[in-house]
Structure 1
Amino acid sequence: MSTRLEALPYRHVLTLPAIPSAVRTARETAEEALIEWGISRRHPAVDPALLILGELVTNSVRHAAALSPQLTIVYAAGRDCLAFAVHDRHPFRPALDASVAASGTGGLATVMELTLGLGGSAVVRGDADGNGKSIWITLPL
């Protein structure tokens, strides 16, 4: 699996208002990008990836909208890797590790359980000014 996200050949960026309909738009855009990139909708990583994406966008809408009226989603892929990030301007950076998955509660537990179950990784990258973050999910294809 590629680890250098910048080297992934396929990339799409989408900025949306932090409102509930962003979840559907983010998922639909992901499906369109995957088709365009030749990744089968039936690939075993696709449904979990769409669920993970939906949970992350939902979290941004629910918890960050007051400080971040917009969110940005980056979709990327390569021959052996699918990656996406959800960025908002809220300073809170959640812990993303196996203990979150083990807690079994909340959307981030679902995100981590699915990500780790597929052999993927999750990383929180803070903005340089400390007032925002991106949550990157990388899954093997």
Structure 2
Amino acid sequence: MEQTEKAVPVTATWWPGREPGPGPEPGVWRFSALSHEASVPRTRHAVRDRLLAQGMAGERYQELVDDLLLIVSELVSNAVTHAAVLSPEVVCELAIDPDRVRVSVLDGHPYRPKAQENDPARPGGRGLLLVKSVTLQAGGECDVERTEDGGKVIWASLPLPGPGAAGPDAEADPDDDPDY
């Protein structure tokens, strides 16, 4: 049941001794885990640590990181809950490029899930609806695709915040307030 971070990074543009640039460092990382409940927080923590290591610490990225971690939690939870029978391992991939961050969860189960409608009488079943809602609210996109080996990959891609963007608690610039 040990979490492993395979081929870290698969591709990256950071070299020891080089100062990080003004934005997150691009790259692709894969995190493999057994299809077990304990893999959900382990994968979430591994992704969080990688996001922070790639330069997404601080107020500017707080909302994005929170959204990505919620998405990872929901997607890995769905995979270990619904796909474990046919997929003893799940893989979470994190891809950072200059404009976007994409998280994907791959499993070997062929069933293609769909976001359920919000039914208060039904316990659970809202994970994909939540992922879709958070993704769209952030200006991103998400989808489910088949893999070549018959499994599926569920992914969400969110835009990086623009320069000067800050979290919801950031102080407003007095020059932006016409009533100031």
The reply to whether TM is greater than 0.5 is: yes
Q: Aligned equivalents of 1:115 and 1:104: distance in 2?
A: 17
Instruction: Tell me if structure 1 keeps the 8 A contact 2:28–2:94.
Output: yes
Q: Could you tell me which of 131, 143, 147 is aligned with 1:111?
A: 131
Residue 122 (1) aligns with residue 145 (2): no
Q: Aligned equivalents of 2:68 and 2:108: distance in 1?
A: 23
- The structure having more radius of gyration, on CA atoms, is 2
Instruction: Tell me if structure 2 keeps the 8 A contact 1:34–1:41.
Output: no
3-state DSSP of counterpart to 1:45: helix
Q: Aligned equivalents of 1:50 and 1:41: distance in 2?
A: 15
Please give the per-residue CA displacement for 1:52-97, whole angstroms capped at 9, x wherever unaligned. 11000000010000110100111111222111100000001123xx
Judging by fraction of residues, say which structure has more helix.
Answer: 1
Q: Aligned equivalents of 1:34 and 1:52: distance in 2?
A: 14
Higher relative contact order (CA 8 A, sep 6+): 1
Task: Give, as a single letter, the amino acid of the residue that structure 2 aligns with 1:110.
Answer: L
Runs of 4 or more consecutive aligned structure 1 residues displaced over 6 Å after TM superposition: none
Q: Could you tell me which of 84, 90, 96 is aligned with 1:71?
A: 90
Number of residue pairs matched by the alignment: 130
Instruction: Tell me if structure 2 keeps the 8 A contact 1:87–1:132.
Output: yes
RMSD: 2.0
Task: Give, as a single letter, the amino acid of the residue that structure 2 aligns with 1:90.
Answer: H
Residue aligning to 2:76: 57
Alignment of 1:2-81 (within 5 A): 9-40=26-57, 42=59, 43=61, 44-81=63-100
3-state DSSP of counterpart to 1:24: helix
Structure 1 alignment gaps of length 5 or more: 1-5
Task: Give, as a single letter, the amino acid of the residue that structure 1 aligns with 2:81.
Answer: R
Q: Aligned equivalents of 1:125 and 1:30: distance in 2?
A: 22
Q: Aligned equivalents of 2:133 and 2:105: distance in 1?
A: 18
Structure 2 alignment gaps of length 5 or more: 1-10, 12-24, 120-125, 161-180
Query: Identity over the aligned pairs, expressed in percent?
Result: 35
Shift in Å, 1:41: 5.2
Q: Aligned equivalents of 1:123 and 1:54: distance in 2?
A: 16
3-state DSSP of counterpart to 2:110: coil
Instruction: Tell me if structure 2 keeps the 8 A contact 1:31–1:41.
Output: no
Q: Aligned equivalents of 1:80 and 1:127: distance in 2?
A: 25
Instruction: Tell me if structure 2 keeps the 8 A contact 1:123–1:137.
Output: yes
Q: Aligned equivalents of 2:68 and 2:132: distance in 1?
A: 11
80-89 or 37-46, which deviates more: 37-46
